[in-house]
């Protein structure tokens, strides 16, 4: 009899808790007061939450229409002085509001920016960082236009991954802006004619005189303003090419004997 009474009491208590959680959730399970902009929804949890499921993006965009974020308020008033660049919301590949936002102050109204996933952005926008981020004001970055992804990753600004010394070392003769060598903000290509006034014909003449016919890719030999280094690199490449050609000749001769 006692066990039955105890079971009934437990069942009744659980039923009461469930009912209170459904009809008065803000008193039972609220993680904190909503942000000030949502204060009027404090007692209407189901405006944003679905019972036993939680908050869903579909609930958010009933009021916050994606195409209007950062442009007009939910009341239809124009936003004249938005402090943050938030119009990137119109370029998301999916509406996943809760990945960055929480409605309660108790769990941070806006999650740390490090939790933002750039994979939510359309691929083209991922390469145009300065559409959302303020460009660094140092002399290097002021001369650049986008192309951030060539040096930085979407996970973190630092460390930058690009090491220019692997391609060309700057010295007192080559202290110039990036756009001098990389024209039209195309950092996949370069030109040495931004500074070197000699014509292609003169460059050809000088290189052919040394027996150099592959002279279009300057950085293969010229890794700095050190001319001696360029000569050493050229001799090294020439020896490698000679060994490769000798190996190919031996291989062809061996195949010819096999055919006989």
Q: What is the pLDDT of residues 68-82, one digit of tens each?
A: 888 888 888 888 776
pLDDT of residue 106: 55
pLDDT of residue 254: 47
- C-alpha 230/C-alpha 215 separation (Å) is 12
> pLDDT higher for 233 or 251?
233
- Whether 256 shows a pLDDT value over 50: the answer reads no
Assess contact for 108 and 151: CB atoms under 8 A. no
pLDDT tens column, 140-157: 677 677 678 778 888 777
Q: Give 85's pLDDT tier (boundaries 50, 70, 90).
A: confident
In percent, how much of the chain has pLDDT > 70?
Answer: 78
pLDDT of residue 218: 83
List the beta strands (DSSP E) in the chain. 49-50, 54-55
- Residue appearing with tokens 């938030």: 86
Q: What angle do CA 234, 172, 170 make, to 5 degrees?
A: 55
Assess contact for 48 and 55: CB atoms under 8 A. yes
pLDDT tens column, 90-101: 888 888 887 777
Average of per-residue pLDDT values in the chain: 75
Question: What would the mean pLDDT of 33-47 be, rounded to a whole number?
Answer: 81
pLDDT tens column, 238-250: 777 666 555 555 5
- Residue appearing with tokens 């079971």: 7
Please list, in sequence order, all residues whose beta carbon lies within 8 angstroms of the beta carbon of residue 219, skipping any fewer than 6 positions away.
167, 168, 190
Distance set, CA 177 to CA 14, 78, 141, 142 (Å) = 71, 41, 10, 10
H helix count then E strand count, the chain: 8, 2
- C-alpha 183/C-alpha 186 separation (Å) is 6
Distance of CA 101 to the CA centre of its chain: 20
Distance of CA 51 to the CA centre of its chain: 36
pTM given for the model: 0.45
- Residue appearing with tokens 């030999």: 221
Tokens of 47: 């405006």
Distance set, CA 151 to CA 162, 187, 249 (Å) = 5, 11, 42
> pLDDT higher for 196 or 204?
204
- C-alpha 210/C-alpha 214 separation (Å) is 11
pLDDT tens column, 165-188: 888 888 887 877 787 888 887 777
- C-alpha 134/C-alpha 141 separation (Å) is 11
As a three-state string, the secondary structure of 61-75 is HHHCCHHHCCCECCC
pLDDT of residue 249: 52
Closest CA to 222 of 196, 247, 251, 244: 196
DSSP state for residue 103 in the 8-state scheme: S
């Amino acid at each position: 009899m006692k066990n039955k009474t105890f079971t009934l009491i437990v069942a009744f208590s659980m039923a009461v808790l469930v009912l209170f959680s459904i009809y008065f959730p803000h008193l039972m399970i609220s993680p904190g007061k909503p942000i000030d902009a949502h204060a009027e929804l404090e007692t209407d949890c189901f405006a944003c939450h679905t019972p036993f499921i939680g908050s869903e993006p579909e609930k958010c965009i009933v009021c916050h229409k994606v195409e209007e974020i950062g442009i007009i308020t939910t009341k239809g008033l124009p936003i004249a002085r938005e402090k943050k660049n938030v119009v990137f919301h119109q370029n998301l590949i999916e509406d996943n509001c809760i990945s960055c936002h929480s409605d309660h102050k108790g769990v941070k109204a806006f999650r740390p920016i490090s939790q933002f996933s750039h994979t939510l952005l359309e691929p083209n926008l991922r390469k145009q960082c300065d559409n959302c981020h303020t460009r660094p004001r140092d002399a290097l970055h002021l001369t650049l236009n986008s192309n951030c992804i060539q040096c930085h990753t979407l996970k973190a600004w630092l460390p930058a991954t690009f090491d220019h010394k692997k391609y060309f070392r700057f010295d007192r003769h080559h202290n110039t802006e990036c756009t001098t060598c990389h024209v039209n903000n195309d950092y996949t290509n370069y030109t040495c004619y931004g500074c070197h006034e000699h014509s292609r014909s003169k460059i050809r003449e000088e290189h052919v005189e040394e027996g150099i016919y592959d002279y279009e890719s300057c950085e293969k030999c010229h890794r700095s303003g050190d001319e001696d280094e360029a000569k050493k690199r050229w001799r090294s490449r020439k020896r490698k090419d000679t060994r490769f050609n000798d190996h190919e000749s031996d291989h062809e001769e061996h195949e010819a004997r096999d055919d006989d």
